[in-house]
Amino acid sequence: MSDPLLSRRANELKPSATLAVAQKARQMRAAGEDVLAFAAGEPDFITPEPIREAAKKALDDGLTHYAPTLGTPGARQAVADKLGSENGIAGLTPQHVAIGVGGKHCLFNAFQALLDPGDEVILPVPSWVSYAPQVQIAGGKVVEIQTSGESGFRMTPDQLRAAITPKSRVLVINSPSNPCGTMYSPDELRALAAVVAEMAASTAPRLVVITDEIYEKIIFGGREHLSMGSIDSIADRTITINGLSKAYAMTGWRVGYAACPGEFGLSFIKAMDRIQSQMTSGIPTFIMPAIEVALKECSGHVAKMVSAFEVRAQLIDRRLREVPGVEFPSPEGAFYVFADISAHFGKTAPDGTNISSAMTFAEALLNNQKMAVVPGEDFGGCGDRCIRISYACDEDQINAGIDRLASLVSSLS
Ligand code: PMP
Ligand code: GLU
């Protein structure tokens, strides 16, 4: 696949597995095939009406020129206010906030702003497919912390302490987690924060936390989400990443943000401005008022979507347990189940596929049952024994999908 006319960077980079499977499912559907897609992490809901209306009005009002690179003062203020009042992150002003093209872009720019070649990024795995490639593009080195389904895919404070070295620059936390569907309790996060504070005062003075809280609102069973940026001992070295894609059903709008308080926050956001000004400029100007409407006026819409996700989480938890040889921790947040299907390795599917990996299991599921899931290899760690099922779809599809999965499993020989 590698082409000598391309850069080494381009030749070595993997495409996003989540987007690749979603694209394949879309193409099969367009070709008339009855594919059930559990691939992309994308809410099936349409964006709430007040947000759509705000963007339409902005277009009609002529907001069609360049916006400031990191967002209008009003949109940046709305993000700062939200993070202060909802997340307890103190001392944020609009100058501590950068708005970019989705959480993905903000993460990319953050790694560019923080990493020099050889710098270490601590990544508990399995983790979302884009963190490691983004670190790689920035020249950083990923240091994995292995987690497993039995512990809800959570790392322990001791594991974290053991992973930190003088070269540690960034710790990535993603709670609730994509792909794991589990989350840390506030006490567990406080214990991890205590390790960061302790090690930053000794071994790793340049350690920064990037906490990706994009699923913060999609949590179940009365669980509580705690923002790492609200913990005093590490607040000034904690960068919060979030966006509107998941909670507000706005994946196609491409709105994300990064924020960090204090003196370091100001210089970090200035660095984000320099990088983004040479890369994309600001996001579309007519989206800026819609950001304010989403953050200030749409909590009722979000609550309704979250209740629907909770019903779906309970349904998939119950139905998937009926399928033999599929192990997973119950969903706690986000809209993913990360299920260990390795009990089926060594078997053969009706179309002759030898199931030797998560990838071949996912292929057999697509070829034999027309059900698209993301194979776990690219999430790292024990992901090579797992498939990710995104259940951001209606209950009929969840029932039909689990029926198909059960049919595949019963047809294996
Ligand atoms: N972080 C995580 C953990 C995600 O799952 C996603 C998913 N798409 C993103 C960040 C980025 O989302 P977006 O760019 O749409 O804001
Ligand atoms: N984050 C979503 C997912 O994991 C959307 C695709 C992507 O950006 O990776 O499926």
Of the two residues 25 and 365, the one the predictor is more confident about is 365
**Tens digits of residue pLDDT in 236-256:** 999 999 999 999 999 999 999
pLDDT confidence of 16, banded at 50, 70, 90? confident
Which ligand is closest in space to the CA of residue 374? Answer: 2
The DSSP bridge partners found for residue 289 are: none
Identify the sign of the CA torsion 68, 72, 76, 79.
Answer: negative
SS3 336: strand
Residue from 210, 214, 390 to probe ligand 1 pocket by mutation (most atoms less than 8 Å from CB): 214
**Span from the CA of 111 to the centroid of ligand 2 (angstroms):** 18
Nearest to 177 by CA among 249, 124, 141: 124
C-beta of 225 in contact with ligand 1 (< 6 A): no
The model's confidence at residue 213, banded by pLDDT at 50, 70 and 90, is: very high
209-237 mean pLDDT:
98
Please give the structure tokens belonging to residue 229. 């940026």
* Percent residues over pLDDT 90 in the chain: 95
Of 2-11, 63-72, 84-93, the range with the lowest mean pLDDT is 2-11
Average pLDDT of the segment spanning 337-358: 97
Give the DSSP H or E segment for 122. strand 120-125
pLDDT higher than 80, residue 283:
yes
294 CA to centre of ligand 2 in angstroms: 21
Q: How far is the CA of 104 from the centre of ligand 1 (A)?
A: 5
Residue 246 CA to ligand 1 centre (angstroms):
8
- The reported pLDDT for the residue numbered 18 is 85
Instruction: Say whether pTM exceeds 0.85.
Output: yes
The average confidence (pLDDT) of the chain is 97
Residue 255: predicted pLDDT? 98
Query: Which residue's CA is the nearest one to ligand 2's atom 5?
Result: 41
For residues 38 and 6, what is the distance between their CA atoms, to the nearest angstrom? 34
Q: Which whole number is the average pLDDT over 183-199?
A: 98
The domains found in the chain, sorted by start residue, are 8-46+300-411 (3.90.1150.10), 50-297 (3.40.640.10)
pLDDT exceeds cutoff 80 at 1: no
Neighbours of 18 (CB within 10 A): 22
The pLDDT assigned to 14 comes to: 87
Q: What local confidence, expressed as pLDDT, does residue 15 receive?
A: 85
Mean pLDDT of 203-211: 98
Going 398 to 404 to 410 to 412, the CA torsion angle's sign is: negative
